[in-house]
Structure formats: structure tokens, C-alpha cells
Amino acid sequence: MNAPLPEHIRRALETVTLDDKYSLDYGRAFMSGVQALVKLPMLQRLRDAQQGKNTAGFISGYRGSPLGGYDQALVKASPYLKAQNIVFQPGVNEELAATALWGTQQLGFAPAGTQKFDGVFGIWYGKGPGVDRCSDVFKHANMAGTTPWGGVIAVAGDDHISKSSTAAHQSDHIFKACGFPVFFPSTVQEILDLGLHAFALSRYAGVWSGLKTIQEIVESSATAMIDPDRVQIQIPTDFEMPPGGVHIRWPDHALDQEARLFDTKWYAALAYIRANRLNYTALQGPNDRLGIMASGKAWNDTRQALLDLGLDDDACRALGIRLHKVGVVWPLEAQLTREFATGLQEILVVEEKRQVIEYQLKEELYNWRPDVRPNVVGKFDEGEGDFSGGEWARPNPTANTLLRANADLTPALIARAIAKRLRRLGLLPAGADLTARIDAQLAILEAKQNALNVIEVAGVKGADRQPWFCSGCPHNTSTVVPEGSRAMAGIGCHFMATWMDRATVGFTQMGGEGVPWTGQQPFSTEKHVFANLGDGTYFHSGLLAVRQSIAAGVNITYKILYNDAVAMTGGQQVGERPEGHSVVQIAQSMRAEGARKITIVTDEPEKYAHIHGLPEGIAIQHRDTLDAVQREFRELEGTTVIIYDQTCATEKRRRRKRGSLVDPAKRVVINELVCEGCGD
Ligand SMILES: Cc1ncc(C[n+]2csc(CCOP(=O)(O)OP(=O)(O)O)c2C)c(N)n1
Ligand code: SF4
């Protein structure tokens, strides 16, 4: 029998709802990191109202893991957002979304008296590749600046291990190149807390704030404290603003903007970071020798690594380990860093991917007196012998890797690096109890790692299953090419064709589909290729790829895979507008662009009897004829288009559950003993 709940918990549970995270202004609520990003603008608006300001919010961006579900979460929360004057308008792509956010800071350019609010604060969101494609608008918008009651945060979803991406990415470097201070929260609570600081910094210093998220943080869930007063913002008292201030204005010459950014805004941002101690020393003792700096996920992993070594806070203090948590990884604030570094013999920087903190730390410490300057290690260990210079001075420092830049870091890797440095500093003398305990812990970690390796190496059944199309997936038929032809892959679920036996070779970034052929055909005897292009990607940017091929006059057939969903990111509707984007609209655009021939291939040709508006001369074919259609198209000169129209099977299942699609009367039963798992 279950024991009865304590009275206070029972009473608290009676009033708990799943909507608490959005409906509560004060209190504790359970939420995911993505939901915290939905709550953040509501808290900002509440804080502004408490200060007597009537502000509004604007959110735009483009989906992609680990922020694949942010748009859907925003739609679900729309009543709460609307009540707080927060508008969510998905972008056609990341770049145009960022441009719209730039617009929110330009409301003051409009005729006097037309502004409905004291300011509009904004959130841009996108996956790492979306950050990459935005650098032009990011630079312009950041140079131009923000407004005192507006401010913009750009939220990046990074995939350090290429788990769901065609290239691993780390947005810190792009944000830095665009001049955005980069926040890196470690927890769901910090998404709220540092998020509010990111808005405040953006308003104060006239810059956009970057906020980096990765799957382990933004897709985790936790109870978080909702309280608009929780973050007590300190406006710097040690920084003098120039007479004209730092905010957006018109007219504004490019070099004036640059001077404002380089000479003032970054220093204002640093003053903000300093005043609010966004980087802080979390643990220190009387005789510290080894300092460890980390941020975001690496901070959590470092804490875990120390525990795995048997080093709790007291043990760290006794041993001489000092810990510094970095909330803003760029620009690295110097005074807080100096306070942390003073008295240390060595600093170990723990950060995933390429160095951000480490290089800044080295630049900060370089001119310190040699007798007080700590040694710095991070990506690489000290080399053997006498090397004058940094890592580039060695022929190839990778043999000396301490904390790898490729893939991610684990607590075990970090534990090994910490132990190595402690030993090198003479803090783990041979024969000491502590040394024996740490060695024993390392042996346990090693054994665990070896056990995992055995699973990988032995290929234990099911451990390394290759992803495949869902049963009934349209891509299973549509991505097949006739014998003797090959296809180029595009971004989306159909990318999986690259590891199937269907002559699909090479791929591009989202929106470049088929364009490698423009650089190949003049140098090849191959006459023609097919290119796969998803409907979501077509709407995002792929239309321009087709335009490029038409402009270059190459022989290529685009297969526009109309599965009526942006399937890979959760089945969002194609086309960022209420009515979506139809096959007819695509056919009309392709005709207007100058595609030589267009044919629609579908599993339901009969439905076209009731569809109007198709341009003249476009044939509708049953999908059974796909091979013949492709054989005809590969002989044609110029750029041709096959629109393959069949709905995503998973989307169909969703629609049936919601009652918006009829359940088929006919069922297929799969005999598992004979099924070859072809997916169709
Ligand atoms: C610039 C950029 N933004 C976002 C993504 C994330 N992303 C990967 S696949 C995909 C959806 C592709 O949808 P669609 O073209 O319709 O193909 P489907 O998955 O439906 O087959 C998105 C948004 C990305 N890879 N690159
Ligand atoms: S989600 Fe849809 S498009 Fe993606 S593999 Fe499954 S059925 Fe195919």
C-alpha cells in the first residue's frame, strides 16, 4: 500500500497544474529548458511593467535541434504570450527572422507618435547552422544597436557532437565574430536568470546578446523558481557613457557604428558583466594552487568529475583547487578573472570544442609578472622539452591533447585531465592516502569506459542501429533513382538516403541542394544528376538553389519532396504562414523561374481532379511510374522539376489521432518473419 502523502505536499499538489510554468508570476514550476525560453519573455515583460514601462516582445527564428520544438512550444503558449504583448512570428529562414528582429529596434525611426510601446524586446532562435547563415544581418544589427527598453537575445541551439546535424557546430565563435557577448547557461534555472541578464545587458550596452544552448541543458527539465525579482540587476557605476549614448539612431554612418561598438559598447558590456558578477569563483580555499574555469555543460561535467574523483568541496579546498564559473564566455571580463587567478600556480580551462575562454585567459595573463602569472592548460597539455610559443609552435600538438576539441567532453575525460594536472603540480604524492583513493576512482572510471568500448566494438545487437525511414515514408519511394543515375542529397529526413543503397552521393547545407552540380558539370562527361529537395527546405531557402541551377543552365532534375510537413523537426506545417504552401504554389513558382519541364508524381493522382490553379502542361502521374518519369527527365536539357507529392507517414498518424484524417479501411499486416524491413 502507498503511504499517504504529507499534508502540505498533498495540498500543494491539489493546486499544481501543467500550465504553472506559464501562468505563475511567482513560485516554483517544473519546466524544460525550451519552456524556460518561452517563459523568459513573459518574465521580462512583467519586470518592465513593475518599473512602469509598457513594453512588448517579438520572437522569430527558425527551427532546428536542439531548438526543434521551440516554435511548437510558443504556439502552445500563445494565450499567455498574447496576454503579455508578445508576438511570435516564425521566420521563413533564420536570416530573415534576424532581420525582423533588427526591425524591432528601429521603431524609433518611424514618424513620431506611431509607437505603441515604450520598447520592444526580442528573441531570435536558430540551430548552429542558422547562426552561421545569419552573420551578415547579425553584424549589421549589432553595429546599429538596440533601444533602452528593447534589447535582443539571439538563442543558438548547438550540437557539439553532430548528433542531429550534418556538421558539429559551436556558435560561440560566430557570435564573437559578430560582436555579441555570449552567455552560456548550465541549468534550466540559469536560462531564466542569465536570460534576464542578457536582456538587461543588451539594453544597457546597446549590443545583441548571444545565448548558447546545447541539448543537455535546453532539453533537460527541472523545477525552476519563477520570480521577476529574483535577478537583481546592477547598473555599472564605474562606466561612463559617451554623450550620445550607445543606442540605435538614424542617420548613422558605418564607421561611427563601428567606433561605437569597438570603443564603447563592448566595454559597457564588460562593465555590466563585472557589476553583476556574471562570472564568479564558486569555491576557494586558503592555499589554492590549481584553478579550474568552466561554463555551461562543461561546468556541470567538471563538478561531476571532481565528485567522481572523490573530491567534494572540502576535499577540493584542502587540496588547493579553486573553481570559477563563467556565465559570459566572451568577452571574458578581466577584473573577475584576475581576482580568480591571483595566487594560483596553474589554471585548467575546461570547455567543449575549440578554445574560447582559454585564448582570452592567456591574452589576459600574458603581461603579468612571471613570478605571479599562472600557467594555463586546456586543450593541450604542456609539451615535453622546451617550446617557446603556444600550441601552434609545435609541429602538431594533437599528440598532447588534454581535453579534446572534437566531439564533446565527459566527466571521465575531465577527471583524468584534473588528476594528471594535480599529479604534475605535485599535489598527489606517491604513497599518500588521497593519491591511492584518486587512483582507485580513476581505475573505476577506466573500467566503465572499457566496458562501453566493448559494447561498441562488439557491435552488440541493437546498440548501433542505423536510422531508417519510418514505415510508409514517402521518401522510401521518392529517393530511388533509375539505374545508371545518381542523386545529390538534401537536408531533411530524406538525407538518410545517403546511407541506403540508392546511388545518393554528397550533400549540401540547407538551401544549397543540387548546386554542387553547377561547379561540376563543366568539368565532367556525366550528363545529368538528380537532386533531392524537401518542401520545408524549399520554402526556407531551396528555391534559390533551383534558381542558381537554372541560371547556370545545368542539366539537373530537382525532386521536390512534398511530404506536407517539415518532418525532421517535428512535423511543422510547410510555409511560415497560416495557409501553408501548396504543390500548386510550388509548381507556379517553378514555372515562373523557368524550369524546363515540371511533372507531379503522387500516390493520389485522383485528388488533382479537384485542385485548380496548376500552370498549363503539367502532367500528374501515379507514383508507380516514377522510374519511367525519371528516365524521361534525365534525357532532357536544362533544369527540370519533379514534385513528388505524398504525405509524411508520421504526420498522417498524427492527423489520424487528431481526427483530421480518416483512418483507412484497408490494413496491411506485416509478417515479421518474411519482412525485409524496406520501410515502404
Ligand atoms: C540552416 C539550417 N536551419 C535548420 C536546420 C535544421 N533542419 C534540419 S532538417 C530540417 C527540416 C527539413 O525539412 P524538409 O525539407 O521538409 O524535409 P523533411 O524532413 O520533411 O524530409 C531542418 C529545419 C538546418 N539543418 N540548417
Ligand atoms: S518522419 Fe515522415 S518524412 Fe521523416 S522518415 Fe518518418 S515518415 Fe519519412
- 462 pLDDT more than 60: no
Best residue among 164, 476, 493 to mutate for probing ligand 2's pocket (most ligand atoms within 8 Å of CB) is 493
Confidence at 392, pLDDT banded by 50, 70, 90: confident
State the Cα–Cα distance between residues 525 and 34, nearest whole angstrom.
Answer: 50
Residue 537 backbone phi and psi in degrees, to 5:
-65, -40
134 alpha carbon – ligand 1 mean position (Å): 16
Provide the grid cell at 332: 571574458
pLDDT value at position 590? 98
* Atom of ligand 2 lying closest to residue 470 CA: 6
Ligand 2 neighbour 566 (Cβ under 6 A): no
pLDDT value at position 666? 84
Query: 357-365 and 334-341 helices cross at what angle (nearest 10)?
Result: 80
652 alpha carbon – ligand 2 mean position (Å): 10
Tell me how crowded residue 589 is: count the other CB atoms within 10 A of its CB.
17
CB 473 within 8 A of CB 447: no
511 alpha carbon – ligand 2 mean position (Å): 19
Provide the grid cell at 322: 579553486
Best residue among 469, 477, 654 to mutate for probing ligand 2's pocket (most ligand atoms within 8 Å of CB) is 469
Per-residue pLDDT reduced to its tens digit, 643-677: 999 999 999 999 999 999 999 888 888 888 888 76
Helix or strand holding residue 191 (H, E): helix 188-205
From start to end of 424-577, where are the E strands?
A: 487-488, 529-534, 556-562
174 alpha carbon – ligand 1 mean position (Å): 21
Name the least confident of 31-40, 316-325, 405-414, 444-453.
Answer: 444-453
Nearest ligand to the CA of 473 is 2
Per-residue pLDDT reduced to its tens digit, 4-18: 888 877 887 788 888
Ligand 1 neighbour 536 (Cβ under 6 A): yes
From start to end of 265-373, where are the E strands?
A: 279-283, 290-294, 321-326, 328-330, 346-350
Block residue for cell numbers 542617420: 251
State the Cα–Cα distance between residues 169 and 657, nearest whole angstrom.
Answer: 36
Q: What mean pLDDT is predicted for residues 585-607?
A: 97
State the Cα–Cα distance between residues 150 and 638, nearest whole angstrom.
Answer: 49
Q: List the Cα angle 400/404/409 in 5-degree steps.
A: 140
* Atom of ligand 1 lying closest to residue 509 CA: 26
Ligand 2 neighbour 469 (Cβ under 6 A): yes
Ligand 1 neighbour 66 (Cβ under 6 A): no
- 78 pLDDT more than 60: yes
ipTM for the predicted complex comes to: 0.99
State the Cα–Cα distance between residues 617 and 418, nearest whole angstrom.
Answer: 70
* Atom of ligand 1 lying closest to residue 539 CA: 15
pLDDT value at position 31? 97
Provide the grid cell at 452: 562501453
pLDDT value at position 679? 58
> 3-state DSSP call for residue 220?
coil
* Right CATH for 18-275 from 3.40.1160.10, 3.20.20.120, 3.40.50.970, 1.10.10.1100: 3.40.50.970
The CATH 3.40.50.920 portion of the chain extends over 279-428
Name the least confident of 12-21, 498-507, 513-522.
Answer: 12-21
Question: Counting beta carbons within 10 angstroms of the beta carbon of residue 397, is it exposed (0 to 12), middle (13 to 18) or buried (19 or more)?
Answer: middle
Give one word for 171, left, alpha or beta, with left for phi > 0 and alpha for psi -120 to 50.
alpha
pLDDT value at position 454? 67
Provide the grid cell at 183: 552567455
pLDDT value at position 387? 64
Distances (CA, A) of 604 to 621, 651, 658: 9, 16, 22
State the Cα–Cα distance between residues 46 and 54, nearest whole angstrom.
Answer: 10
Give nearest CA residue, ligand 2 atom 3.
Answer: 648
Best residue among 566, 576, 581 to mutate for probing ligand 1's pocket (most ligand atoms within 8 Å of CB) is 566
HEC secondary structure over 601-648: EECCHHHHHHCCCCCCCCEEEEHHHHHHHHHHHCCCCCEEEEEEECCC
State the Cα–Cα distance between residues 105 and 50, nearest whole angstrom.
Answer: 22
- For the chain, first and last CA: distance in Å? 48
Question: Counting beta carbons within 10 angstroms of the beta carbon of residue 653, is it exposed (0 to 12), middle (13 to 18) or buried (19 or more)?
Answer: middle
Q: Please, which residues have CB within 8 angstroms of residue 165's CB and are 6 or more apart in sequence?
A: 65, 127, 128, 129, 159
Question: Counting beta carbons within 10 angstroms of the beta carbon of residue 81, is it exposed (0 to 12), middle (13 to 18) or buried (19 or more)?
Answer: buried
592 alpha carbon – ligand 2 mean position (Å): 30
Using the CB atoms, write b or e for 115-152: b if 16+ within 10 Å: eebbbbbbbbbbbbbbbbbbeebbbebbbbbbbebbbb
Cis peptide before 331 (omega within 30 of 0): yes
Distances (CA, A) of 262 to 206, 257, 586: 12, 9, 45
Best residue among 67, 537, 563 to mutate for probing ligand 1's pocket (most ligand atoms within 8 Å of CB) is 537
CB 269 within 8 A of CB 183: no
Per-residue pLDDT reduced to its tens digit, 187-201: 999 999 999 999 999
494 alpha carbon – ligand 2 mean position (Å): 8
Nearest ligand to the CA of 562 is 1
> 3-state DSSP call for residue 318?
helix
Tell me how crowded residue 164 is: count the other CB atoms within 10 A of its CB.
16
Per-residue pLDDT reduced to its tens digit, 301-324: 999 999 999 999 999 999 999 999
CB 215 within 8 A of CB 128: no
- 622 pLDDT more than 60: yes
State the Cα–Cα distance between residues 417 and 403, nearest whole angstrom.
Answer: 7
Confidence at 563, pLDDT banded by 50, 70, 90: very high
CB 457 within 8 A of CB 350: no
Q: Which overall architecture, per CATH, does domain 475-658 show?
A: 3-Layer(aba) Sandwich (3.40)
The CATH 3.40.50.970 portion of the chain extends over 18-275, 475-658
Q: Which amino acid is at 222?
A: A
Q: What mean pLDDT is predicted for residues 552-576?
A: 94
Question: Counting beta carbons within 10 angstroms of the beta carbon of residue 160, is it exposed (0 to 12), middle (13 to 18) or buried (19 or more)?
Answer: buried
Give nearest CA residue, ligand 2 atom 4.
Answer: 493
Q: Which amino acid is at 349?
A: V
Per-residue pLDDT reduced to its tens digit, 38-54: 999 999 999 999 999 99
Best residue among 65, 468, 471, 473 to mutate for probing ligand 2's pocket (most ligand atoms within 8 Å of CB) is 473
Q: What sign does the CA torsion over 44, 49, 55, 59 have?
A: positive
| DSSP 8-state class, residue 504 | B
State the Cα–Cα distance between residues 74 and 230, nearest whole angstrom.
Answer: 24
- 1 pLDDT more than 60: no
* Atom of ligand 1 lying closest to residue 130 CA: 1
> 3-state DSSP call for residue 593?
helix
Ligand 1 neighbour 559 (Cβ under 6 A): no
State the Cα–Cα distance between residues 145 and 264, nearest whole angstrom.
Answer: 12
Provide the grid cell at 346: 596553474
Ligand 1 neighbour 130 (Cβ under 6 A): yes
pLDDT value at position 460? 59
Strands 279-283, 321-326: pairing kind: antiparallel
| DSSP 8-state class, residue 420 | H
Q: What mean pLDDT is predicted for residues 256-265?
A: 98
265 alpha carbon – ligand 1 mean position (Å): 35
Q: Which amino acid is at 619?
A: A
475 alpha carbon – ligand 2 mean position (Å): 7
Ligand 1 neighbour 208 (Cβ under 6 A): no
Provide the grid cell at 5: 502523502
State the Cα–Cα distance between residues 665 and 563, nearest whole angstrom.
Answer: 22
CB 26 within 8 A of CB 227: yes
100 alpha carbon – ligand 1 mean position (Å): 21
| Annotation: CATH topology of 279-428 | Rossmann fold (3.40.50)
Residue 421 backbone phi and psi in degrees, to 5:
-70, -35
Best residue among 466, 468, 471, 475 to mutate for probing ligand 2's pocket (most ligand atoms within 8 Å of CB) is 475
- 464 pLDDT more than 80: no
pLDDT value at position 299? 98
- 218 pLDDT more than 80: yes
pLDDT value at position 575? 87
Give nearest CA residue, ligand 2 atom 2.
Answer: 648
Strands 529-534, 55-61: pairing kind: unpaired
* Atom of ligand 1 lying closest to residue 510 CA: 26
- 456 pLDDT more than 80: no
Question: Counting beta carbons within 10 angstroms of the beta carbon of residue 306, is it exposed (0 to 12), middle (13 to 18) or buried (19 or more)?
Answer: buried
What are residue 153's DSSP bridge partners?
123, 209
